[in-house]
Structure 1
Amino acid sequence: MKITKVVQQKNDKNRFSLFSGDEYVGSATAENLSPYGYGEFEISDADFKKLMDQDDLEKATNKCIRYLARAMKTKKEIIDYLYKNKVPVEIHDLIIERLEDLGLIDDKRYLEMYLDERFNYSTDGSLKIKNKLFLKGFSSAEVDPYLEEYRDKEEENLKDLMAATKKTSRGKDKNKMIRYLMNKGYPYPMISDLIGAYFTDD
């Protein structure tokens, strides 16, 4: 294939549009294009495919970086994002590897930060928190050891939640109260240990 024209893009000075005759055939970054130059050049079909594959990788990686700028994400969330944006499956692992090398994906750090935030700044119990983490790609084996570290904090949160509910209708009905607390994600054995004292205090 002969590339007859290389045009710098207006919205991104680091990218160039490639033309063969009057036909637009693709784009590439300055770095990926540098081996061929920025004027006319001949390129084999195989090398052109490699150039386009590399460009797909660059574009998808940069798109993920912009996505991550909004908030930290897990590896599974990034993969879901790649599927949603129809990024070729064969480059998913390369993108994940790049993002990990850049320190933009770190599931262990994400898990630690998420648990700290949920147990300290929400009223959710461990079962609800764990379920949300499942949706983010974490397994029981990864989450359970951390949950043990928060057991005392969870019990403290449960007591605070029960106290805050005292004046509501559910706070005066034991069964309603139990259902409410279970829906918030607190384990039944923990609720059972505290519920008796709660209603005795009334």
Structure 2
Amino acid sequence: MNRAYQLALNYLSRALRTTEEVRRYLIRKGFKDDEIEEAITKLIELGYLDDKRYLENYLASSKMQKYGFLKVKLKLLQKGINPGLLNDLNFNEDEEVAKAKEILLKKYKYLEPAGYAKYYRFLLSRGFPPSVVQKALFLTDNMDNG
């Protein structure tokens, strides 16, 4: 257990990680399940491993500002965040529409009506729900015409 704990601690010293990321790391290093669980339990007790804190930092990071709610949620699930923690996330449609509009205008300086499908796909690929994409496109279209 001591070696698993030390390796996990070293892994955590480089970046904040989820419990699942640490577990996968220790599995790759060849540790047994009981050693892994013991090391993880100790790290949690000492406050070195905290998925809730990881979630808060991840959401606040600037790189997540260029993605929609759905993409952020998917990335967090891939990192092993407990789906129960994700249920507490607030989805604010107005904020998402504003973010989608900002991302769209940053990527495409001039929006052409013929490019509507391209803009729609782009925003969907960034993790915005269809309802948000439609509102963002409608608002940017009105902004250009009004």
Relative to structure 1, the CA distance from residue 75 to residue 121 in structure 2 (aligned partners, 3 Å threshold; closer, same or farther) is closer
TM-score, normalised with respect to structure 2: 0.86
**Alignment partner for residue 198 of structure 1, among 134, 140, 143?**
140
- Cα distance in structure 2, aligned partners of 1:77 and 1:151: 31
Deviation (angstroms), 1:153 = 3.4
Following TM superposition, where does structure 1 have runs of at least 4 consecutive aligned residues deviating by more than 4 angstroms?
Answer: none
Q: Give the total of aligned pairs.
A: 142
Larger radius of gyration: 1
Higher RCO (C-alpha 8 Å, min separation 6): 2
Residue 163 of structure 1: CA displacement? 1.9
Q: Percent identity?
A: 28
**Residues 1:66 and 2:15 aligned together:** no
Correspondence for 1:75: 19
Conserved? CA contact 1:129–1:185, under 8 Å = yes
After TM superposition, give the deviation of residue 70 of structure 1 in Å. 0.4
Aligned counterpart in structure 2 of residue 157 of structure 1, from 85, 96, 99: 99
The match for 1:141 is: 84
Give me the CA root mean square deviation: 1.9
Segments of 5+ residues of structure 2 without an aligned counterpart are none
Work out whether 1:85 is the aligned partner of 2:29.
Answer: yes
- Is the Cα contact below 8 Å between 1:126 and 1:147 reproduced in 2? no
Q: C-alpha separation between the residues in 1 aligned to 2:119 and 2:70?
A: 17
User: Hey, which of these two has a bigger chunk of helix by percent?
Assistant: 2
- Greater share of residues in strand: 1
* 2:131 counterpart letter in structure 1: P
Unpaired segments ≥5 residues, structure 1? 1-56
Deviation at 1:123, TM superposition (A): 0.6
